[in-house]
């Protein structure tokens, strides 16, 4: 069944071309709406080189955008893109930027100087693109760069919001680590047993858990390169090579999917 809130959100998205140029922050009961023009003119904005935004993007530090909002009790920033992609960014990772870690920035597209189209022809990464300075310092992953950002909501940790995504007590360390890998790398597109906010790919836990109908070898091959398992024109999932997902993290996420099938 279509839930009314989602349906309404989809309708609003379709009807409101002006809304596309706003960035909405909802933190601790407060809402802040920022416009592209406002952010481009911000005294905190810098020019930084960012892939997909050649030659450079104007970007504002994320912590600066959140200043004055009640972030103390926020565990995670749920970053919602206009296409259904939803990143769960730990607030600790954003805070670490002020202490020598990777620094999160919101890159803002200037309508007068549009960025290049995305490879798959779905517009540009703008108007708002969450990017990181020195991403390797904090081990930022490929799925922690959400583009076409529309809304950022302060939420509790994923396992707290959706207890059904958590591995059972007593499972091995690999599956336990796999849960974190799943949240960072897979949950932007997939749900687990209904837990999650994304609508891009199928739920990997229900009705039948993925590890119950895909073999371990098949899962590994699919995660590295979906086209190696099966292929069709509308296929969307992009594979994770070793630079995006280490062998250890692949082991962990497969162990997690297996644990969720027990
Ligand atoms: C950018 C979005 C995206 C991300 C990130 C993503 N997937 Fe997918 N995935 C999809 C889509 C969409 C499909 C449906 C098939 C297609 O269009 O490629 C899919 C299909 C799958 C399937 C096959 C399910 C079935 O029943 O056919 C598995 C298993 C899977 N993904 C696992 C993963 C895992 C594990 C991760 C994280 C390491 C991940 N995916 C990350 C989008 C994504």
Q: How far is the CA of 237 from the centre of ligand 1 (A)?
A: 5
Please give the torsion angle defined by the CA atoms of residues 36, 41, 44 and 47, in that order, rounded to the nearest 10 degrees.
80
Residue 1 is predicted with a pLDDT of 34
Nearest-CA residue for atom 43 of ligand 1: 237
- 237 CB within 6 A, ligand 1: yes
Is residue 207 reached through a cis peptide bond, with omega within 30 degrees of 0 on the bond before it? yes
Res 62: pLDDT? 98
- What is the whole-number distance in angstroms between the Cα of residue 218 and the centre of ligand 1? 13
Residue 8 has a pLDDT of: 40
Ligand 1 site, residue 189, Cβ cutoff 6 A = yes
pLDDT of res. 21:
81
Confidence (pLDDT) at 37: 95
Residues in Cβ contact with 72 at an 8 Å cutoff, skipping those fewer than 6 apart: none
Please state, in angstroms and rounded to a whole number, the distance separating the CA atoms of residues 173 and 256.
10
pLDDT on residue 4: 40
Non-local CB neighbours of 101 within 8 Å, separated by 6+ positions? 93, 137, 138
Q: How many CB atoms lie within 10 A of CB 168?
A: 9
What pLDDT, on the 0 to 100 scale, is given for residue 20? Answer: 46
Q: Dump pLDDT digits (tens) for 143-186.
A: 999 999 999 999 999 999 999 999 999 999 999 999 999 999 99
Residue nearest to atom 7 of ligand 1 (CA): 237
Query: Do 260 and 205 contact (CB within 8 A), yes or no?
Result: yes
Please report the pLDDT score of residue 9 as a whole number. Answer: 43
| 196 Cβ below 6 A of ligand 1 | no
Q: Establish whether residue 81 lines the binding site of ligand 1, counting it when its CB lies within 6 angstroms of any ligand atom.
A: no
- pLDDT computed for residue 119 by the predictor: 83
Counting from 1 in the atom list of ligand 1, the atom nearest the Cα of 245 is 38
Between the two ends of the chain, the Cα-to-Cα distance in Å is 27
50 HSE (CA, 13 A, CB side) = 30
- pLDDT at residue 14, rounded to an integer: 44
62 in contact with ligand 1, CB cutoff 6 A = no
Residue tagged 């091959």 (tokens): 221
Cis peptide before 127 (omega within 30 of 0): yes
The predicted-structure confidence for 58-80, as pLDDT tens digits, reads as follows 999 999 999 999 999 999 999 99
Average pLDDT of adjacent 10-residue blocks, the chain of 262 residues = 40 41 95 96 95 89 97 96 93 96 97 89 91 95 95 96 95 96 96 95 98 98 98 94 96 98 94
How much of the chain, in percent, has pLDDT values that exceed 70? 92
Query: Measured from the CA of 185, which atom of ligand 1 is nearest?
Result: 37
- Reading the block at residue 175, the tokens are 């599956």
Q: Is the CB of 202 under 6 A from ligand 1?
A: yes
């Amino acid at each position: 069944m279509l839930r009314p809130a989602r349906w309404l959100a989809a309708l609003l998205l379709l009807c409101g071309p002006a809304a596309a140029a706003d960035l909405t922050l909802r933190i601790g009961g407060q809402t802040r709406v920022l416009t592209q023009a406002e952010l481009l003119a911000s005294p905190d904005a810098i020019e930084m080189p960012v892939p997909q935004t050649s030659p450079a993007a104007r970007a504002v530090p994320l912590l600066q955008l959140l200043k004055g909002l009640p972030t103390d009790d926020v565990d995670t920033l749920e970053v919602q893109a206009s296409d259904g992609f939803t990143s769960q960014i730990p607030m600790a990772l954003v805070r670490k930027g002020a202490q020598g870690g990777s620094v999160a920035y919101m890159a803002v597209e200037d309508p007068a100087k549009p960025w290049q189209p995305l490879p798959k022809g779905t517009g540009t990464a703008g108007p708002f693109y969450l990017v990181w300075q020195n991403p390797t310092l904090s081990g930022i992953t490929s799925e922690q760069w959400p583009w076409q950002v529309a809304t950022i909501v302060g939420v509790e940790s994923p396992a707290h919001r959706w207890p059904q995504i958590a591995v059972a007590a007593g499972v091995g360390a690999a599956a336990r680590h796999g849960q974190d890998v799943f949240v960072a790398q897979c949950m932007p597109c997939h749900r687990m047993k209904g837990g999650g906010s994304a609508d891009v790919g199928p739920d990997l836990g229900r009705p039948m858990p993925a590890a119950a109908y895909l073999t371990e070898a098949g899962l590994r091959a699919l995660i590295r390169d979906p086209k190696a398992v099966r292929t069709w024109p509308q296929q969307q999932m992009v594979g994770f090579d070793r630079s995006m997902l280490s062998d250890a993290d692949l082991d962990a996420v497969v162990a997690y999917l297996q644990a969720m099938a027990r």
